[in-house]
A and B are shown apart, each in its own frame.
Chain A
Amino acid sequence: MADLLEVTDLHTQFFTRDGVVRAVDGVTFRVAAGETLGIVGESGCGKSVTALSLMRLIPQPPGKIVKGSIMFDGQDILKMDDDDVRGIRGNNIAMIFQDPMTSLNPVLTISRQISEALELHLKMDKSEARKRTIELLELVNIPSAKKRVDDYPHQFSGGMRQRVMIAMALSCNPKLILADEPTTALDVTIQAQILDLLKNLAREFRTAFILITHDLGVVAGMTQRINVMYAGRIVEKADTGELFANPKMPYTWGLLRSIPRLDESRRAKLVPIEGLPPDLIAPPPGCKFEPRCQYRRDICSEKEPELKHIPNSKPDHEARCWGTQDGGWLVNTDWRHEIGDTRVLEAIKQETASITATDTPGE
């Protein structure tokens, strides 16, 4: 059975005065119907741009999808004309955005904002759309939905607003929902509620989800597979359980190591990934993570590794690392105990400190 979504070699770039930013630099992945895929990475790694590219929502100047194909339900989205793409948006693919406060129009009622898509795609009339809107609000657990349907966004709390956005995304029964950091702007307690809601909806309606976040904790409980992105590329792909149990890329090791744990001693220091993400206009020639990698060797700065299956792991597990691929020096490394070359670590720390020292403005 063909996958619902097949992205092949996607390249999205932004043309600025300072140069061309290669935000998404060759990304390939697939999502099956009803599956939840997690895309994880730091700010600026290209995960949001990937999602926006799927819906062709990249602002045309200065952005452009320069290469690749996005096969959705057998059709290439990048080759469709504008009307067809609009027919898919909100209808077959929907998106939930990060900040519900700014993502909802403050001067329109939520009834209007949800009914819009219903009237447009499902051709409902006003009363049908209104009934369906109330049903949707009840589905996402908004109390007194019938009374609140004519309220404005500012009359809802943050968590409620996100539920409204979810209701909006679900309205036309899409096959795929893109959730871009859906809980980042919310309190932790509300986060859990929203994630639970999403999980239940995914199960009930068999909707495929792409969950984009920088928070590994969020993807752990929600996804079947995870793509780890860095500098516009996927650097590791695996089933969720496999990724946490048996990660095979130093960046992922760094991410996992940096999560504070309840069972650690209070004295234990936090272990960040030193250094800064690379400049996407002029990225380093070899592996993009090399400048910050404590396990690096010469080959890492010379040639970029391919995303390939790695030994000692499940069949679908791929990583982009010279060290962990066949014949590499990290194949048998236990990342939990070997933190790499500490001299390299010191060098990285020093370089970062010298770059980030600034003079205070205005004095």
Chain B
Amino acid sequence: MATASATQRRAAELNVLARKQRSLWQDAAYRLFRNKAAVAGLIVIAAAFLVAIFADISVGDFHFSIAPYSPTLIPQPPASQMEPLWTGSKYTDPRYLLGTDFLGRDILSRLIYASRISMVVGFVPTAIVFALGVTVGLVAGFFGGWIDQLLMRFTDVIYAFPDFLFLIIIVASFRTSAFGKIMDGLLLIFVAIAIVGWVGVARLTRGQVLSLKEREFVEAARSVGATPVRLMWKHLLPNALAPLIVTAAFAVPGAILGEATLSFLGVGIIPPTASWGGMINEGFPLFGTNPWAVLMPALCISIVMLAFTFVGDGLRDALDPRMKT
């Protein structure tokens, strides 16, 4: 007759689950880091961040920059439309690794400084969009009634606008005003992206809240006296988080793309401040002579966008394996 403790041990050996229990977030993190493309994307983004930070560190008298030259000053003697050193053409200047633009400014330095614009434009408006959109969506979805109706009609109207064009209209309209000149037009771009973008997030959040509102755990929390704020913040929001995170992950490159397109069309960042889109805009007329002035910023945009897309896809797969494409 087997003893109780021996059988206990044996049954524990045999019946115990093969893997340790993991929380939902740990599980998602594990899956994310197993995704090679996503990890590569994260590395690229981190690198871009580092470049953006070290492009210009000025504290008091201390100044450090990894860029060889200033992005706006023209080193003398001027050498415009130089091509990158590796092309071996006769239009190169040993001072400039990647050549110069039509005014003679170092492309490499401009690319580095432009990364700051892109990084900032990616994250700041997205943060605003989410702070605003999630709040409104939570309130609308939770309280329903006229707040909800109002929001829905409003979003219908905004949805009818092609978002890019709306963005362009807003920016183009106000860029000559005082507001439009703050931070070389960056603030205006933030605001425009925020205005256009918050609506989609609000709708998404509202949808999530609507479907979660009827679940038992909300009823349970309510029955123990949870206030609306507590319900929204501690119960509804954490459960609605997954699609929001994925949307945020894709909103960042969307914002970067928005700024790049605006600058490309000539209504974005005010020159001479460097931005990748602006560099394309400036270099475009001379594409035939020195395509590199356009190709280099194009490459930068592509790499950063791809990186964010891989991370976004990775997050989506990690947070909801059922959605695997």
Contacts and interface: CB of A to CB of B under 8 A. Distances in A.
Q: In the complex, is A directly touching B at CB under 8 Å?
A: yes
A62 to B, nearest CB: 15
A276 B16 CA distance: 10
Nearest to A343: B4
Contact of B18 (A281, A291, A347): A281
B24 A361 contact: yes
A344 interface: yes
Contacts of A352: 15
A173 B278 CA distance: 74
A282 B239 contact: no
Nearest to B3: A343
A41 to B, nearest CB: 18
B25 interface: yes
A351 B12 contact: yes
Nearest to A279: B18
Interface in A320-363: 341, 343-344, 346-348, 350-352, 354-355, 358-359, 361-363
A301 B21 CA distance: 27
Contacts of B23: 359, 361-362
A282 B11 CA distance: 13
A281 B11 CA distance: 16
Interface string B235-246: 000110000000
Nearest to A360: B23
A18 B18 contact: yes
Interface residues of B, number: 19
B160 interface: no
B4 A344 contact: yes
B230 to A, nearest CB: 14
A284 B25 contact: no
Contact of B15 (A278, A281, A298, A341): A278
A297 interface: yes
Given A348-B11, A351-B11, A351-B15, A358 B1 contact: no
Contacts of B7: 296, 344, 347
B224 interface: no
Contacts of A275: 11, 15
11 contacts: A275-B11, A278-B15, A279-B18, A281-B18, A291-B14, A296-B7, A297-B1, A301-B2, A344-B2, A344-B4, A362-B238
| Those 10 A-B pairs whose CB atoms lie nearest each other, nearest first | A361-B24, A284-B14, A291-B11, A351-B11, A362-B24, A347-B8, A347-B4, A343-B4, A291-B14, A347-B7
Interface of A: 18, 275-276, 278-279, 281-282, 284, 291, 296-298, 301, 341, 343-344, 346-348, 350-352, 354-355, 358-359, 361-363
